[in-house]
Structure 1
Amino acid sequence: MGVATARQLVEFGFSERTVYRRCLDGGPWQRILPGVILLFTGRPTRTQQVHAALLLCGPDAVVTGLEVCRRHGVRRGPARPVVDSGEYAEVQVLIPDDRQVRSVGFVHVTRTKRLPGGPTRDGVPLAAVPRACADAVQRGVCTISSLAEELDSGSRRGIAAPTAVLKELRAGVRSAAELAAKRLWPKTGLPEPWWNATVRDAEGRFLGIADCWLDEVAVVWEIESSEWHLSPEDHDLTVERAAGFTAAGAVHTATKPTKLETDAPYVIGQLRATYEQASNRARPTLTAERARAT
């Protein structure tokens, strides 16, 4: 494979001083990541880059994201983001929650309490396809629609029932985004909302299920779903639902899932301003029902 950790090389019989001396300019080895050594000069293959990422992250680490899609046969579709000064494409890796490893260079590390099961290919442990795709979408490197196009194109060796995969993927991404929204909410200082409330107009007509509903001022906050639409029809339905809320008198605001992670202060400010705007007008005659506990 040509990749090893410095600790492995020391255990094999090299002194630590020798290991790092061989990685100096002009030496026969090179350091690709902290504590991870390439036992040759020149550019590593993609597989060697991935193995280096796994060595950095330690036992039980699992590759996720677009790398998994590529190894399952998705050859077109979204390109992997290039990082580390443009040298290598990013590798996303999941590690146990109690492991203290940080993202560095071309390796993006995510800690998780539940490591996903999945296959091992060419010695590389992979997350299951739905989880890997969800991680890629959450990372902001692609959208579900772009993955859907690729899976429907016929280039999907090793991926059974792509429609089922996409359904599971969309559910996973949406639940993760809603969880992020719920975690953010207490920081707004606003009254506690109802989540996934059923909203009806003054005549009792169904308007939709609001991701987040502030009943006292009739405000709808939704996690803007265009990032995981599978078709233009899905997008049209989302636009129509938002228009229905607005026409009935609710104040509607939406946030992209990636914004929750990348610019929380902006989202908090947006929510506070929306609440203030809604408080300064008469509440429309709308009714809502809390979601039933499951």
Structure 2
Amino acid sequence: MNHDTPLSPRPLSHLAEAHHRVLTTAQLRAHGVSAAETSAQCRPGGPWQQFLPGVYLLHPGPPTGEERLRAVLAYATRGPVPRRRDGVPAQPTAREPHRPARAEVMITGLAALALHGFAAAPALLALDVIDVLVPRLRRLRSTGCARIVKAAEPPAPETAGGVPVAPVPRALADAVAQLSDAFAVQRLLTEAVRDGHCEPAAVVRALTGARLLTRPHVVDAVDSLLAEGRSVAEDRLYRMVAEHGLPDPVWNVDLRLPGGPHLGGLDAYWPDHAVALELDTRAPLPGRPGDETLGVEYTRKREHLERLGITVVHLTPRKLRDAMDQQATVVRTALMAAADRDPAAYVVVLPR
């Protein structure tokens, strides 16, 4: 007897009691259900239905949102049995009929965003299709409510709603690829940053990789996204200073040498300590004039300030979001070290 041999026949009623009533042909066979029995159960008026090729819904009514997700994943994971390095089959068995057979298969697009908790994403049952991300070499076609999205190197999946889903940046890119409504795109991108799902730079990288920044309505939405990202980061910076008892800086200023050139703008500056703080919210858009020089200009400004004896603290929105306590310690350390440094050059501080 090998792993393909069906189990001894059992009453089919036990299957309807399964926690998830979505099974593939292979899983039914593992339960001892032959192809003929499956066909008989799916006859008009029967208790089962074929929902997708090789995927069956073990009740006659419409599927729930969860059943649609699991059916799409089951369809995308069909195929030759993958094996672990020790040769043991890794495909779901009768005991674990709902364990994904391939870790690189995951829900993406609007369905994934709904599972991530996006208010701007439609409810699962309102979606006509569910996007599922698979490796590019898989021989699968979109059918029914399953839309196949292929990737040369799928990202590591996350888990939401009990199923594998694409990380937010990839899910956003796959969703935006299907949307022509500029307002819908802007709402999704803005929510991603405003609610802390991801940083603007990660979104821009994903959209760039999907070659979506040639679409004017996507570029406009990204401009709004970057503005939203800076606003969110500034709010976190104000909160960090207040909640961690740091001295109040002067906010959003320009520095100049007396009678000399402009040194650059800063998000915060402590004149008595000669400590400057800058949020790095850069997310250059490919092809936009001047964007390729942002990094060079930033580095030049930082080096110039440090030659004048001004300590520059560099923070990113992600650091503020994920490790605010640590970043407050970095700023406090720079302020305390001011007493041990040589006096900085005199600079003029102007509102920005």
The offset of 1:25, in angstroms, is 8.4
Matches within 5 A, 1:191-270: 191-226=247-282, 228-230=283-285, 231-270=291-330
Letter in 2 for 1:82: P
Q: Percent identity?
A: 15
Cα distance change of structure 1 residues 84 and 239 upon mapping to structure 2, 3 Å threshold: same
After TM superposition, give the deviation of residue 201 of structure 1 in Å: 2.0
> SS of the residue aligned with 1:288?
strand
- The residue number in structure 2 matching 1:179 is 235
Residue 83 (structure 1) aligned with residue 158 (structure 2)? yes
Quote the RMSD (CA, aligned, Å). 4.9
2:350 counterpart residue number: 289
Deviations 1:108-128 (A, max 9, x none): xxxxxxxxxx9x96xxx9552
Deviates more, 1:262-271 or 1:172-181: 172-181
Partner secondary structure for residue 121 of structure 2: strand
| Distance 1:79-1:200 versus aligned 2 partners, 3 A rule | farther
CA distance in 2, matches of 1:235, 1:247: 19
Partners of 1:192 and 1:40 lie apart in 2 by 51
- Structure 1 residues 8-157: aligned runs within 5 Å: 21-23=17-19, 37-38=66-67, 42-44=71-73, 51=111, 54=114, 61-63=119-121, 82-84=157-159, 88-90=164-166, 126-128=184-186, 130-131=189-190, 134=193, 139-140=198-199, 143=202, 146-147=205-206, 149-150=208-209, 153=211, 155=212
Please give the TM-score of this superposition, normalised by the length of structure 1: 0.59
Q: 1:145 to 1:234 in 2, by over 3 A?
A: farther
Pick aligned residue for 1:273 from 333, 337, 343: 333
* Superposition deviation, residue 180 in structure 1: 1.3
Of 187-196 and 278-287, more deviation after overlay is shown by: 278-287
Work out whether residues 223 and 255 of structure 1, in 8 Å CA contact, stay in contact via their aligned partners in 2.
yes
CA distance in 2, matches of 1:87, 1:187: 37
Structure 2 Cα separation of the partners of residues 77 and 211 of structure 1: 40
Q: Secondary structure at the match of 2:216?
A: coil
- DSSP-derived class of the 1:285 partner: coil
Q: Is the 8 A contact 2:236 2:320 kept in 1?
A: yes
| Structure with higher RCO (Cα < 8 A, 6+ apart) | 1
SS of the counterpart of 1:63?
A: coil
In structure 1, stretches of 5+ residues that fail to align are 1-19, 30-34, 93-106, 108-117
Separation of aligned partners in 2, 1:143 and 1:52: 17
1:247, CA displacement in angstroms?
A: 1.9
* CA gap 1:24/1:144 in 2 versus in 1, 3 angstroms: closer
Q: Tell me: CA distance 1:210–1:49, structure 2 relative to 1, closer, same or farther (3 Å).
A: closer
The aligned counterpart of 2:226 is 170
Question: Take 1:82 and 1:251, find their aligned partners in 2: how far apart are those partners?
Answer: 40
Larger Rg: 2
Aligned length: 232
**Paired letter, 1:279:** A
- 3-state DSSP class of the match of 1:217? coil
Whether the 8 Å contact between 1:136 and 1:142 is mirrored in structure 2 is: no
Structure 2 counterpart SS, 1:84: strand
